[in-house]
Structure 1
């Protein structure tokens, strides 16, 4: 393979930029780092110190994602609307207001000052490397933000602000914070209910999820640890993954991925440990119901006295067609946190709701990822979690070379007293709506009038008011542990776990269809067994299980739907008789998979998504039988016997017919990634369908590189005029096996390494994802040298 840039030989602008950054005579170099790119544009970054490591890391990241890096920096400074306008349904305005109301830049400054010296050096080097790239490129990025005024040099404080803001949940609920205004005051800034609904969904981070499988010594063919990392993250924007290999000889050697613009490896491996994350079902936000003064809705009762809410006036600049405008609004706070408003949880004359975020004060996420990446044993790895307690809203699923499989929910939640939990349990059992909000929306609503429901402080806890490490779920297995975004309860299905705070999620309750499919694949239930005759997993069998693309919802419900169809082949809707014979014949031939050539998948999807998502988990609307906690993977399973199921199928048929879409159209003809004018068919399924390989489609995607249609067809939940537009799902997909010769890994980054449409690595892995073609990860130095396509030595 021909190297594009040979070490110590510099070409074109690279050469001249190095001359420009050359230090004065006798002045020592601050930064020196080597960046070797292997196939698919993966950078292997080697330096002698953390500052130089960050320098190369940021420079290489900016080469691929300067636009998204700048976008994230601008957002956390509260300047998005100033440069980009109000945004879709004023989302940029809402975000800017909340970033400023929470004084996020000040929090970033304080957090940086509190970091250990090596982390300070790392982030300072990161900022310097980013700025160096901006200087070398001189505004010509060959991407969608060329010459944009908001792509500017950044400080270490600004990058730290970005990291601090990313761990919060309340920042993702900006519509709810801005919407909360006293009932007696004229509303200055209207927040559409859809934005308040989005805030409600953001509490559970519904735009992100994951599967994770960690295999112990008794479940793998070679008796060592194996891992599947399968984060479900956005295909667009600042929450994309970027792959990297970071090395400081004798100090650090870790491979994996992290979100664009973030230092370190969040999901990955070293020579001893492999790990990944899933979004936890924990309740990082607790809501406090405030009882208001009948004479003043800005006062609330606390311990028998009236306290006044505090307002903070925030002004943001908004770019409009008529020039720059200023928007000023008051954001309101109780001592718990900001007042929020969401559907059914409004600010009335009697009641308001305040939100407390457990990640307020979480400043150690970079330090914890570093400690995890340096760990040389599972005990050290667990110790990193205990030391920092900094994983904001994710579980960690890990395995070691010797085959210890461990699940940790190290996410931060409020520490409640036994008395507070008992009182909350009593209210939940008495008020069905509270239980429903807890189970389906992740809401915990506490009594804001009493000290009893305050979070309690434990000694030696890094974040005041949060649970100590010993009270966070941890499960170890010789076989396997897994998670698919439900609570810890079934992360070892062989030994279900209970006994932790309800803020870590419900137990003995129905699981999502995707969690149940994970168990089917791992346990080999109902014919979903990929382990072969030995009953043990190889890497190839793990990969085959993930990409099998079978849907559990179809597996359970379709046979019973077809029985109903056979008994009632015609249905009348809106006075028109619909013959279901062809539709049911197509569904009968379909193999329940969501592959590119799957015929019947589209029809079944349009039927199933006419039901609310919660219907695929709980009995009543779709399932007739009750959930059995002793059989959580296989219950409920029986389709409700009523007219609705066939009526919904008839409406799905009519929708497709009216749009000129064949009932048996292959899924790949409609489900696509539309990126910068190029489309790729995408396999996988959505949340309703109970498929491990999740790919969520949305009719609206806010991205300058999205080239599909931002509309939604009437009577469909997810179908647009450009098909099913992929928004988020399987992203950095990695399998890892420890062997006698060391770690061996393969991966696919579904949306590819670069975010620049003209780049060589903009869509190369998207094609491999389409073809289910895994690629080798190069970890050892000899392999890196063998597969190198470019080398770059950066000095300053």
Structure 2
């Protein structure tokens, strides 16, 4: 190495393109990390940077239904660039050096490439050098939720004002999904001493994240000898390891059911809808005019709007929560001042025991919107929802409970959409500042759910209640999610797999999980909804094999036969999965958790794993099956078509059959299909087929789901880990690492993770020494 250089770093890539980055200081570590990441994902890194700066529409146009315009205006109104600069200046020296080095490595790759990236953004004017402040702005924007609710922010205008920016109903509705981070999920299993074959800790990491864009995972191994040795992955363009392990602890994340954003109902002045009542006095809403440039076929066009703020946060517009002459709604984000997530992840990665790992959470309280599920070499299994939510007084919580019990609308918004609506006119509902909490107004560590088990803990995006099913937990703030309420069918399936219920026994006769048994359980691809309902559906189908739709008869007997022969799995060769999916997804997702449309037996909080159950006693089941049959036949699709002939990843002209199922189907190995995907790499069709929820003319297009999948077991020789990165390591279509792991995922083949220096040396594919 060059002793006089500011940055010295070694990058050794092993098979499948995984970089092992070794440096003597944090600046050099970031330098090599960003350089290697840019080799694989320069386009997505640049995309994330211009998104965080509010420049998407300037370079890429208005986007689907104007989403780029909405995003840019909201980002600018929230002043993300200023917040990023301030956040960087407040970082400890090691983090600041890390980010400065990261910017340096990224910029070096741009200089050396001169625009020839051998990818889909070659010579694009928006791929340009970046400052440390730019990257910090990206990280600050990433942890917030309000930034994802752009349509709702831009749409909020006083009732008599003419909106200058058009926001479609679907873009406003998308804000509801954004509050829940609906496009991202995960399964996570951590095993303790009484559930593993060797009595040490084991882990399954199974985050469900997008297959396209900057929110993909990128795998890496980061080492500073004597200081840091951590392996795992993080979102593209993000320094550090977010999901991974070291010699002592391993962890993964799932999107939490906590309510990081709460809404405040504002009571407006009768003759002025821009003033709101607060403790008996009228306050004026603050307004901020923001402008962005939009690239069009004719040239640049200027778009301007006004964004409004109460002292709680921006005024928003959501379905049923309109700005009228008497009321409006403002949103407050608990992560608005969260700037310590890098310090949090670094402290986790340096932990030498579970006790230190928990202390790292306590010190920073900086997990933005994810649960942490972890295990350790000594076999401690811990679930922690360390996400930031507002610290409400007991009086405020009691008043809120009274309101939702008195209002079915408010209760429904909480239980179905995760919306907590507080009274914006009262100081009582403000968040309490605790001196021991780093982020103002958020709950102290002791008031955040922490569950430990000698057996296992898990999460599949429901609240903490059943994260240890053997000992259900209640009693935390309602902002950490509802308890003693119906769970998703995926949560229920996770418990079936872990507890060995109804024949789903993967832990063998000894009841102890080996790594191979954990892998088999995840990839079994059985659907719980089919397990619960299919036999009854088939029986009714046989009893009434002809159904009329608009006076046209539909013969159901062939469908009955196909479903009866199907084994309820969503493998690529499964015949019957497509037919059942088209039947099931004609119901609302809500109905997969509640009695009425789909289920007959009520939810029982004493038996939450097995209820609701039974097919609802109505004619809809057969009518819906007839509609599914008609859709497939009318579009020339055989009723018994194997799932893999329709469910595919279409990437850069290549198509890969993909196993797995969606959230309706109650399958652990989640793969969500959408009829619209916006990405230069996507080579399928966005043309929707009939009235299907997710089927396009190119099939079920994989949009997000199982991504960085990892199993970990601590042994007497250290951590033993295996993984699959479903969409592969590189985003460049011509790279040898663009689809190699997609083939592994297709074939359910796990690869070894190389953590020890000797294993890295034996499996080296390439080596680079970078100095500057």
**2:556 is equivalent to residue 567 of structure 1:** no
**CA–CA separation in structure 2 for the residues paired with 1:486 and 1:204:** 11
**CA–CA separation in structure 1 for the residues paired with 2:533 and 2:155:** 41
**CA–CA separation in structure 2 for the residues paired with 1:347 and 1:675:** 42
**CA–CA separation in structure 1 for the residues paired with 2:172 and 2:688:** 20
**CA–CA separation in structure 1 for the residues paired with 2:28 and 2:426:** 51
1:257 corresponds to which residue?
A: 233
Match of 1:242 among 212, 218, 222: 218
Q: CA deviation at 1:306?
A: 1.1
Match of 2:528 among 522, 546, 552: 552
Q: CA deviation at 1:28?
A: 2.2
Indicate the larger mover: 456-465 or 490-499.
456-465
1:188 corresponds to which residue?
A: 164
Structure 2 stretches of 5 or more lacking a match?
none
**CA–CA separation in structure 2 for the residues paired with 1:437 and 1:289:** 14
Match of 2:750 among 753, 761, 774: 774
For residues 616-765 of structure 1, the aligned pairs below 5 Å read 616-765=592-741
1:102 corresponds to which residue?
A: 78
Q: CA deviation at 1:714?
A: 1.8
DSSP 3-state at the match of 2:560: helix
Match of 1:218 among 171, 183, 194: 194
1:386 corresponds to which residue?
A: 362
For residues 417-432 of structure 1, the aligned pairs below 5 Å read 417-432=393-408
1:342 corresponds to which residue?
A: 318
Q: CA deviation at 1:618?
A: 1.3
2:485 corresponds to which residue?
A: 509
Q: CA deviation at 1:713?
A: 1.3
DSSP 3-state at the match of 2:86: helix
**CA–CA separation in structure 2 for the residues paired with 1:374 and 1:458:** 27
Match of 1:82 among 53, 58, 63: 58
DSSP 3-state at the match of 2:680: coil
**2:313 is equivalent to residue 313 of structure 1:** no
**CA–CA separation in structure 2 for the residues paired with 1:491 and 1:401:** 21
**2:461 is equivalent to residue 485 of structure 1:** yes
Q: CA deviation at 1:709?
A: 0.4
Match of 1:495 among 461, 468, 471: 471
Residue deviations 1:233-279 (CA, integer Å, cap 9, x gap): 00000100000000000000000000000000000000000000000
**CA–CA separation in structure 2 for the residues paired with 1:456 and 1:564:** 56
Residue deviations 1:512-570 (CA, integer Å, cap 9, x gap): 00000000000000000101111100000000000000000000010111121122111
Residue deviations 1:594-627 (CA, integer Å, cap 9, x gap): 0000000000000000000110011121111111
Match of 1:532 among 505, 508, 514: 508
DSSP 3-state at the match of 1:360: coil
Indicate the larger mover: 435-444 or 760-769.
435-444
**2:307 is equivalent to residue 331 of structure 1:** yes
Q: CA deviation at 1:197?
A: 0.7
DSSP 3-state at the match of 2:330: strand
Q: CA deviation at 1:425?
A: 0.5
1:788 corresponds to which residue?
A: 764
**CA–CA separation in structure 2 for the residues paired with 1:540 and 1:453:** 50
**2:559 is equivalent to residue 583 of structure 1:** yes
Q: CA deviation at 1:83?
A: 0.4
Residue deviations 1:385-420 (CA, integer Å, cap 9, x gap): 000000000000000001000000000000000000
Residue deviations 1:108-129 (CA, integer Å, cap 9, x gap): 0010011000000000000000
1:543 corresponds to which residue?
A: 519
**CA–CA separation in structure 1 for the residues paired with 2:501 and 2:509:** 15
**CA–CA separation in structure 2 for the residues paired with 1:280 and 1:591:** 32
Q: CA deviation at 1:630?
A: 1.1
**CA–CA separation in structure 2 for the residues paired with 1:608 and 1:719:** 13
**CA–CA separation in structure 2 for the residues paired with 1:695 and 1:186:** 41
DSSP 3-state at the match of 2:22: strand
**CA–CA separation in structure 2 for the residues paired with 1:437 and 1:591:** 37
DSSP 3-state at the match of 1:638: strand
- Superposition RMSD in Å: 0.8
For residues 49-128 of structure 1, the aligned pairs below 5 Å read 49-128=25-104
1:165 corresponds to which residue?
A: 141
2:341 corresponds to which residue?
A: 365
Q: CA deviation at 1:291?
A: 0.9
2:182 corresponds to which residue?
A: 206
1:4 corresponds to which residue?
A: none
Match of 2:250 among 274, 277, 300: 274
Match of 2:497 among 518, 521, 529: 521
Q: CA deviation at 1:656?
A: 0.1
**2:377 is equivalent to residue 401 of structure 1:** yes
Q: CA deviation at 1:712?
A: 1.1
**CA–CA separation in structure 1 for the residues paired with 2:687 and 2:377:** 48
**CA–CA separation in structure 1 for the residues paired with 2:426 and 2:688:** 46
For residues 402-481 of structure 1, the aligned pairs below 5 Å read 402-481=378-457
**CA–CA separation in structure 1 for the residues paired with 2:573 and 2:222:** 39
Q: CA deviation at 1:351?
A: 1.1
Q: CA deviation at 1:350?
A: 1.1
Q: CA deviation at 1:422?
A: 0.3
Runs of 4+ in structure 1 deviating by more than 2 angstroms, as ranges, are none
**CA–CA separation in structure 2 for the residues paired with 1:566 and 1:454:** 59
Aligned residues: 772
**CA–CA separation in structure 2 for the residues paired with 1:493 and 1:751:** 32
Residue deviations 1:47-71 (CA, integer Å, cap 9, x gap): 0000000000000000000000000
Query: What TM-score, normalized by structure 2, do the two folds share?
Result: 1.00
**CA–CA separation in structure 2 for the residues paired with 1:286 and 1:203:** 9
Residue deviations 1:662-715 (CA, integer Å, cap 9, x gap): 000000000000000000000000010000000000000010100000121121
Q: CA deviation at 1:787?
A: 0.2
Structure 1 stretches of 5 or more lacking a match?
1-7, 9-22
1:14 corresponds to which residue?
A: none
DSSP 3-state at the match of 2:275: strand
**CA–CA separation in structure 1 for the residues paired with 2:79 and 2:669:** 39
Q: CA deviation at 1:743?
A: 0.2
Residue deviations 1:485-520 (CA, integer Å, cap 9, x gap): 000000000000001000000000000000000000
DSSP 3-state at the match of 2:42: helix
Residue deviations 1:732-778 (CA, integer Å, cap 9, x gap): 00000000000000000000000000000000000000000000000
1:16 corresponds to which residue?
A: none
Indicate the larger mover: 542-551 or 615-624.
615-624
**CA–CA separation in structure 2 for the residues paired with 1:584 and 1:561:** 8
Q: CA deviation at 1:583?
A: 0.3
DSSP 3-state at the match of 1:98: helix
Indicate the larger mover: 511-520 or 563-572.
563-572
**CA–CA separation in structure 2 for the residues paired with 1:738 and 1:675:** 36
Q: CA deviation at 1:190?
A: 1.3
Q: CA deviation at 1:139?
A: 0.4
DSSP 3-state at the match of 1:624: strand
DSSP 3-state at the match of 1:510: coil
